[in-house]
Each structure stands twice: as structure tokens, then as C-alpha cells.
Amino acid sequence: MRTTKLETTAERIKYFRLLRNMKQNEVCEYIGVSRNTYLSYENSDRTSYPEGVLEKLAECFGVGVEYLKS
């Protein structure tokens, strides 16, 4: 089994979306942001994310907010 270290919040967001077999537009609808905004969450070197968005993403993926941020 191959293990991958997920070092950034963006990597974790993308990992859990793929793990849940969700399309980007499905996550966008769930958290209430545009696709372009969501893409910036998943594909960037951001250092901060809106707290409300992280809460919605954590709920969507069934993980803790702190795990997404760490």
C-alpha cells in the first residue's frame, strides 16, 4: 500500500474530495462558493482559508477542521 504525506491544506482538500468521489462542482455547491474560488483552495499555496469555509469542507468530508489546517 502506498502512503502519501499530505503536507498542505490544499493537498488535504483535494485528497478528501477524490476519496469521496466528489466532483469539484459538488463541493462548490455544498460549501457555497464559485468554482474559481474553490480551485484556489485546492490548487494553491494559500496560507489562510476562511474559517467558515474550512468548517463546511470538514463537514463535507467528515474530518476535523484542525486536520485540514495542520
Distance CA 62, CA 44 (A): 22
Model pLDDT for residues 5-22, shown as the tens digit of each residue: 788 999 999 999 999 999
Model pLDDT for residues 28-59, shown as the tens digit of each residue: 999 999 999 999 999 877 888 988 999 999 99
Which residues make Cβ contacts (< 8 Å) with residue 54, sequence separation at least 6? 9, 65, 68, 69
Residue 1 pLDDT grade (very low, low, confident, very high; cuts 50, 70, 90): very low
Distance CA 44, CA 64 (A): 21
Average the pLDDT over 49-70 and give the result.
92
What is the reported pTM?
Answer: 0.87
Helices and strands (H, E) in the chain, number of each type: 5, 0
Residue 54: all three cell numbers together: 474550512
Going from the N-terminus, what domains does the chain have, and what CATH number goes with each?
9-69 (1.10.260.40)
